[in-house]
């Protein structure tokens, strides 16, 4: 903002809220025009505003990765096409190049410059996730050239005139021109609304005020971001999460790791992704713009949610991403699965951020993961091909995934099927609409039992569904080999990243199964796993896509939220309540939570539960040993003289006695180590292969991951559960929290 220039604060607030409302009107206009289920009901769209230089002034509540990406698209358009063909009043540009902005070619943008009395004063943009871009069906791409149309900028509207030639050229390269065309026209309609209303604000408030208010939004975002960071402890947080993809040579699943080192110093935040796996020859890659967009998304959701959503909020954030990694793939690598990598990146970043937020005492802002997928994440995907009963091409992506379970918090369970953390306004399509646009018959969509992270507060349950391929002779779906490592989830303070309840499988049921349904039978996941409704189908050679003959019965699930705290601290009555609802099985109630439920399922056996939980604690002591060979790195015995300096964990704090700073258990007072050391070296440590915990993989192949559990040597409280895949190497004992204790003052 210009020096010594002040604007009226009341008018400023009026302007800010009016601009937000206009952006929401543009987004809702877009959703009403389109017929795309991803956009109209899934909510994968965005409207946003930018200053004349292309710096984002305000984004609204749509898909946040679009908001973080479009600034780069506008900068590219101005640089590449500012002189030829030029920028004029009434122009609108089509854009979908993921190596410049966005996540993959399916992220389409329409960008519109806003002119006032002949001068360029601002930009507005709308974006959609449009599933059809032509090219190969999802899963088969080796290079970006296989992923359909890729346009770095093309005028779809020129000086107010709709370019029918450009429109028909773009849509004519897609399988369903009407579907794609409605998305394009929907974005144009959204821009028209936003631009018209923006000029209305100029008329109401005056151009100088509007421009100064935009500058203030950007500067306020930066100032509030820096102030928030400065209020948090300095330190470094390290996280590591996994995904799996197809190794095309062996036709088997291989693990990839995302490795994040987050350092907070004063009012700045630094991210280093050195240690992340190399890019692949599949579409399982993320471009650098996609990675930056998902990083901004993660921070917006968790750390900067109360800061105006402009580019200013990212100015204190620095990032290093090694080129040639799955987070910064080299052109022309395929990147159709960039958002999947992005989802895991969001979870990886959010784990570090959640631990930093907890250390700052903002417990209401802390959540565990919302994208925890169970070990056998492979099998049939959700990008369909072929035609529906009426001969219309199917809409490809089935976005039940937006009904994910949200992560647990320090004082409550996660929300069941609560949404999708990438999209504040996300939704899932109702079943009647799905059956209208896809060749499916649904038999169930319900909460997924045992499907969320276990903890004192459990994660929210994702959904579970069973549906039949009906009325199509050419339906197909993308396919991945079943992995053997938990993917994209984290628990906090001893909570588990995921549960164990999940089934993703295809059954050769045949249409004759409908006769059984008419007679009163109903397919369930348990019955299908037992082979009661047909033989499971595992395609030979693990192809990128598999045909789904009519009569194929599919079982699938959606990710659940991570847990918070030690599971054996969970209120037994809450476990009983979950059992009564069918959300937790008797086996998990007893094995994980240590809760013994009466035979009739109506009461908790208190004495048996106390004995069970005591046995779990004793087993932790018997089966665990500290990595360092000793249970404390501090010579002094525990005493009452320690003062709390910083509570960074539900069961641990940094304590001080004179000049000495240590990590101490808040429950029993056990001193683990000096504050400069990794507490995990002195905690009781147990590595458990996933085959001990999880049901067998559908293929019978071995797991490639293990849980590393850490317990307090004094009271056996579970402190942390980490996922580790030995196949990728690295130190299994992750030093995740490194707080600069010298800068902290005793309470």
113 secondary structure, DSSP code? E
The radius of gyration of the chain from alpha carbons, rounded to an integer in Å, stands at 26
As given in the structure block, the two tokens for residue 85 are: 């063909």
Query: Whole-angstrom Cα distance, residue 64 to residue 298?
Result: 9
As given in the structure block, the two tokens for residue 180 are: 């794609």
Find where tokens 């509540």 sit.
61
As given in the structure block, the two tokens for residue 628 are: 């360092």
39-42, long-range: CB < 8 A, 24+ apart: 39/128, 39/129, 39/130, 39/183, 39/186, 41/399, 41/427, 41/428, 41/429, 41/430, 41/433, 42/129, 42/399, 42/402, 42/423, 42/426, 42/427, 42/428, 42/429
As given in the structure block, the two tokens for residue 685 are: 């440590």
User: What is the CB neighbour count within 10 angstroms for residue 94?
Assistant: 23
Query: Whole-angstrom Cα distance, residue 194 to residue 57?
Result: 13
Q: Are 568 and 380 in contact (CB under 8 A)?
A: no
Query: Whole-angstrom Cα distance, residue 372 to residue 747?
Result: 36
As given in the structure block, the two tokens for residue 365 are: 């802002």
Helix, strand and coil in the chain, % to nearest 5: 30, 25, 45
Mark out the alpha helices in 63-176 (DSSP H runs): 64-81, 164-172
- Exposed e or buried b per residue across 310-347, where buried means at least 16 C-beta atoms within 10 angstroms of its C-beta: bbbbbbbbebebeeebbbbbeeebbbbbbbbbbbbbbb
The per-residue DSSP string of 180-220 comes to: HHHHHHHHHHHHHHHHHHHHHHHHHH-HHHHHHHHHHHHHH
As given in the structure block, the two tokens for residue 722 are: 């980490």
What are the strands, taking DSSP E only, across 356-420? 379-385
The pLDDT, as a whole number, for residue 115 is 98
Q: Are 166 and 94 in contact (CB under 8 A)?
A: yes
As given in the structure block, the two tokens for residue 675 are: 């504050």
Query: Whole-angstrom Cα distance, residue 205 to residue 406?
Result: 41
Q: 85: cis peptide before it, omega within 30°?
A: yes
The pLDDT, as a whole number, for residue 504 is 87
Q: Are 26 and 111 in contact (CB under 8 A)?
A: no
Residues 387-437: tens digit of each pLDDT: 998 898 998 888 888 889 999 999 999 999 998 878 888 888 889 989 988
What are the strands, taking DSSP E only, across 356-509? 379-385, 440-447, 463-469, 476-480, 505-508
Query: Whole-angstrom Cα distance, residue 427 to residue 411?
Result: 26
278 secondary structure, DSSP code? B
Q: Are 498 and 373 in contact (CB under 8 A)?
A: yes
Burial (CB < 10 A; 0-12, 13-18, 19+), residue 223, is middle
Find where tokens 């949610």 sit.
305
Residues 451-506: tens digit of each pLDDT: 999 999 999 999 989 999 999 999 999 999 998 888 888 999 999 999 998 888 89
The pLDDT, as a whole number, for residue 242 is 93
Using CA of residue 568, residue 569, residue 575, residue 576, what is the dihedral sign?
Answer: positive
The pLDDT, as a whole number, for residue 64 is 85
Query: Whole-angstrom Cα distance, residue 500 to residue 588?
Result: 9
3-state secondary structure of 19: helix
Mark the ranges of the chain whose per-residue pLDDT is less than 50.
Answer: 1-4
Vertex 261: Cα angle to 260 and 266 (nearest 5): 135
Query: Whole-angstrom Cα distance, residue 434 to residue 427?
Result: 13
The pLDDT, as a whole number, for residue 743 is 75
CA-to-CA separations, 378 to 278, 374, 699, in angstroms, rounded: 20, 10, 10
3-state secondary structure of 734: coil
Q: Are 328 and 277 in contact (CB under 8 A)?
A: no
Query: Whole-angstrom Cα distance, residue 612 to residue 606?
Result: 10
Query: Whole-angstrom Cα distance, residue 471 to residue 441?
Result: 9
Query: Whole-angstrom Cα distance, residue 582 to residue 584?
Result: 6
CA-to-CA separations, 527 to 379, 467, 514, in angstroms, rounded: 19, 14, 15
Of 321, 302, 327, nearest in space to 313 by CA: 302
Phi, psi of 707, deg, nearest 5:
-90, 135
How far from each other are the two terminal CA atoms of the chain, in whole angstroms?
40
Q: Are 299 and 345 in contact (CB under 8 A)?
A: no
Find where tokens 């700052």 sit.
360
Query: Whole-angstrom Cα distance, residue 513 to residue 467?
Result: 12
Query: Whole-angstrom Cα distance, residue 114 to residue 91?
Result: 9
Phi, psi of 661, deg, nearest 5:
-120, 130
As given in the structure block, the two tokens for residue 217 are: 């939004």
Query: Whole-angstrom Cα distance, residue 490 to residue 546?
Result: 31
């Amino acid at each position: 903002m210009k020096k010594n220039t002040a604007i009226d604060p009341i008018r400023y607030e009026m302007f800010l809220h009016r601009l937000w409302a206009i952006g929401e009107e543009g987004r809702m206009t877009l959703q009403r025009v389109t017929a795309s289920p991803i956009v109209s009901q899934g909510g994968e769209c965005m409207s946003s505003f930018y200053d004349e230089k292309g710096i984002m002034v305000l984004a609204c509540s749509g898909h946040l990765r679009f908001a973080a990406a479009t600034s780069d698209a506008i900068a590219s358009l101005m640089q590449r096409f500012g002189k030829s063909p030029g920028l004029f009043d009434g122009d609108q540009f089509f854009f979908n190049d993921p190596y410049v902005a966005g996540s993959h070619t399916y992220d389409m943008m329409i960008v519109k410059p806003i002119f006032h009395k002949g001068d360029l004063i601002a930009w507005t943009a709308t974006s959609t996730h449009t599933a059809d871009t032509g090219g190969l069906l999802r899963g088969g791409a080796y290079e970006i050239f296989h992923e359909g149309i890729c346009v770095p900028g093309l005028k779809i509207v020129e000086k107010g005139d709709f370019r029918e030639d450009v429109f028909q050229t773009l849509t004519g390269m897609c399988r369903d021109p009407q579907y794609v065309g409605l998305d394009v026209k929907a974005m144009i309609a959204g821009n028209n609304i936003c631009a018209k209303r923006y000029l209305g604000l100029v008329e109401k408030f005056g151009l100088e005020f509007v421009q100064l208010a935009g500058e203030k939004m950007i500067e306020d975002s930066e100032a509030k971001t820096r102030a928030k960071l400065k209020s948090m402890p300095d330190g470094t947080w390290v996280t590591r999460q996994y995904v799996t993809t197809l190794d095309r040579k062996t036709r088997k699943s291989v693990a990839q790791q995302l490795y994040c080192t987050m350092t907070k110093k004063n009012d700045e935040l630094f991210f280093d992704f050195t240690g992340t796996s190399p890019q692949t020859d599949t579409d399982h890659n993320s471009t650098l713009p996609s990675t930056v967009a998902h990083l901004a998304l993660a921070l917006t959701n968790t750390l900067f949610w109360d800061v105006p959503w402009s580019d200013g909020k990212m100015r204190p954030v620095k990032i290093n991403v090694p080129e040639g990694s799955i987070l910064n793939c080299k052109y022309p690598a395929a990147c159709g699965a960039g958002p999947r990598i992005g989802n895991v990146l969001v979870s990886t970043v959010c784990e570090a951020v959640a631990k930093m937020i907890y250390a700052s005492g903002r417990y209401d802002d802390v959540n565990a993961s919302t994208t925890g997928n169970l070990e056998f994440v492979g099998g049939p995907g959700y990008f369909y091909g072929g035609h529906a009963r009426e001969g219309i091409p199917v809409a490809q992506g089935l976005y039940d995934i937006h009904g994910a379970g949200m992560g647990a918090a320090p004082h409550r369970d996660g929300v069941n099927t609560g949404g999708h953390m990438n999209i504040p306004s996300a939704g899932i399509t109702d079943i009647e609409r799905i059956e209208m646009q896809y060749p499916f018959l649904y038999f169930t969509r319900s909460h997924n039992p045992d499907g969320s992270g276990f903890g004192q507060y459990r994660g929210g349950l994702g959904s579970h569904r069973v549906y039949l391929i009906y009325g199509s002779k050419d339906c197909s779906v993308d396919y991945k080999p079943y992995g053997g490592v938990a993917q994209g989830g984290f628990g906090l303070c001893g909570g588990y990243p995921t549960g164990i309840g999940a089934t993703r499988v295809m059954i050769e049921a045949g249409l004759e199964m409908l006769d059984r349904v008419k007679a009163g039978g109903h397919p369930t996941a348990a019955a299908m796993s037992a082979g009661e409704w047909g033989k499971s189908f595992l395609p030979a050679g693990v192809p990128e896509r598999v045909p789904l003959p009519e009569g194929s019965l599919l079982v699938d699930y959606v990710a659940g939220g991570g847990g918070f705290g030690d599971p054996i601290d969970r209120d037994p009555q809450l476990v009983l309540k979950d059992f009564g609802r069918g959300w937790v099985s008797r086996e998990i109630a007893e094995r994980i939570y240590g809760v013994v439920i009466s035979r009739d399922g109506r009461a908790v056996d208190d004495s048996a539960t106390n004995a069970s939980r005591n046995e779990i604690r004793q087993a932790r002591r018997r089966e665990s040993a500290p990595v360092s060979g000793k249970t404390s790195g501090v010579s002094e015995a525990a005493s009452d003289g320690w003062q709390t300096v910083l509570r960074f964990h539900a069961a641990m704090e940094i304590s001080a006695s004179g000049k000495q700073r240590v990590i101490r258990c808040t429950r029993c007072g056990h001193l683990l180590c000096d504050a400069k050391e990794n507490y995990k070296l002195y905690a009781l440590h147990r590595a458990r292969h996933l085959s001990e915990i999880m049901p067998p993989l559908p293929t019978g192949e071995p797991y490639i991951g293990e849980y590393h559990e850490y317990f307090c040597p004094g009271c056996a409280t579970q402190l942390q559960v980490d996922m580790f895949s030995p196949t990728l190497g690295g130190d299994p004992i992750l030093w995740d929290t490194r707080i600069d204790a010298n800068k902290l003052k005793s309470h």
